[in-house]
Chains A and B, each alone.
Chain A
Amino acid sequence: GAVVSQHPSWVICKSGTSVKIECRSLDFQATTMFWYRQFPKQSLMLMATSNEGSKATYEQGVEKDKFLINHASLTLSTLTVTSAHPEDSSFYICSAPTAGDTNTEAFFGQGTRLTVV
């Protein structure tokens, strides 16, 4: 299957700092990528849809100024958590459908465990 690589797999940062998470499609071009957040023992919640060359679409309740998304190329999307607080600690996962929409199989990155201290 297609490969989506996410980096870093875990990160610890101090409150008030910013953290960037990368999501790369290694063997296909992804015009669309999705960013999810997962709390312990809960399912994945969609945060935003990242679109190559245009602004991301954020789900209701997600602060776009706090969670900055950039999709600068067809193989890379980044999520930057700005001015991180302990409540931002969570598991963040990206995914990319192989044909750019939800009508095709989705592949997921390995996830990033963010801990804000």
Chain B
Amino acid sequence: KQEVTQIPAALSVPEGENLVLNCSFTDSAIYNLQWFRQDPGKGLTSLLLIQSSQREQTSGRLNASLDKSSGRSTLYIAASQPGDSATYLCAVSGNQFYFGTGTSLTVIP
């Protein structure tokens, strides 16, 4: 069974810092990997989708990479802002979506 792990579980940084969130998965046979943002008590907002044949995707200050063979993905957030504070989840898709436990990010003004 696919297992998805996210490290760190929580992260607190001052505003303006660049940061990296990590996601690892045990089964490399995936269709794609998706990063989401979840605000407290809210649903999920899709941030970036990386197809299994791709290496990275970029959207604004966000850059996500995928190394399928090693079972790793990173989400890079540049010049962090207080509004980036949220929980970030990664999910890999096979016959279903498998979610990591998330990284809770706090950006301190």
Contact B44 A46 (CB under 8 A): no
Chain A contacts for B96, CB-based, 8 A: 34, 46, 49, 102
Known: A1-B46, A43-B89, A43-B102. A106 touches B41 (CB 8 A): no
Contact A108 B95 (CB under 8 A): no
Residue B101 interfacial (CB < 8 Å): yes
Contact B43 A43 (CB under 8 A): no
Chain A contacts for B49, CB-based, 8 A: 105
- Interchain nearest-CB distance for B48 vs A (Å): 10
For B, the interface residue count at a CB cutoff of 8 angstroms equals 23
- Interchain nearest-CB distance for B8 vs A (Å): 14
Chain B contacts for A6, CB-based, 8 A: 43
Known: A43-B102, A103-B93. A110 touches B46 (CB 8 A): no
For A, the interface residue count at a CB cutoff of 8 angstroms equals 22
Give 1 or 0 for each of A89-100: 1 = CB within 8 Å of chain B CB: 001010100000
**CA A1 to CA B49, docked complex, whole Å:** 12
Total of A-B residue pairs, C-beta within 8 Å: 57
Chain B contacts for A46, CB-based, 8 A: 96-97
Residue B14 interfacial (CB < 8 Å): no
Contact A113 B41 (CB under 8 A): yes
Chain B contacts for A42, CB-based, 8 A: 101
Q: A44-B97, A102-B96, A107-B46 are known contacts; what are 8 more A-B pairs with Cβ within 8 Å?
A: A34-B96, A43-B102, A44-B91, A46-B96, A102-B97, A103-B31, A103-B32, A106-B34
CB-defined A-B contacts under 8 Å, sample of 17: A6-B43, A34-B97, A42-B101, A43-B4, A44-B89, A44-B97, A102-B31, A102-B94, A102-B97, A103-B93, A105-B32, A107-B46, A108-B36, A108-B43, A111-B41, A111-B42, A111-B44
Ranked 6 nearest A-B pairs via Cβ: A102-B93, A108-B44, A111-B43, A110-B43, A103-B31, A43-B99
